[in-house]
Amino acid sequence: MSATQLAALARTSDPRTMLRRFLALDAVVTGANGVAYLAFSGPLGDLLGVGSGLLLGLGAFLTVFAAGVGLLAARPHPAALPVRVVVEANLAWAAASVAALALWLTPSTAGAVWGVLQALTVAGFAGLQLMALKARQSISS
């Protein structure tokens, strides 16, 4: 993705703002997913073909993770190391999601589609955050 495409997606050409926006978007989407898993673990478990206990645990984790990412996004100049931790956590989540679908879970069709889509979304967040971090570092050098 070119710098122009990245700036258009973030609706800013300022790499600092770009990074904060991609972190904030991640926090909002992840937080909404976590709250939905917590609030509707039974019906969502039935729809996705996974246990409600698994969704409750994932919901708690996602909600806490989203809060941390949101705090990082709220900083005027998020430090590179915590941003890299978020990027690596997102990549690990995406890989674990695909592995769980392939090796452990037997979800419904909706659950399999949801698992793949959320893995792609989370990997996309990681990519955008990493590109924005690199763009920010290039102007700081």
- pLDDT, one tens digit per residue, over 55-89 is 999 999 999 999 999 999 999 999 999 999 999 99
20-42: average pLDDT = 97
Question: Would you report the helix, strand and coil content of the chain in percent, each value rounded to 5?
Answer: 85, 0, 15
Is the distance from CB of 23 to CB of 72 less than 8 angstroms? yes
What does pTM read for this prediction? 0.90
Place of tokens 């992840």: 30
Query: Does the structure show a pLDDT above 60 at 141?
Result: no
Place of tokens 């997102």: 90
Q: Percentage of the chain with pLDDT > 90? A: 82
123-136: average pLDDT = 94
Query: Does the structure show a pLDDT above 60 at 114?
Result: yes
Is the distance from CB of 119 to CB of 97 less than 8 angstroms? yes
Place of tokens 């949801």: 114
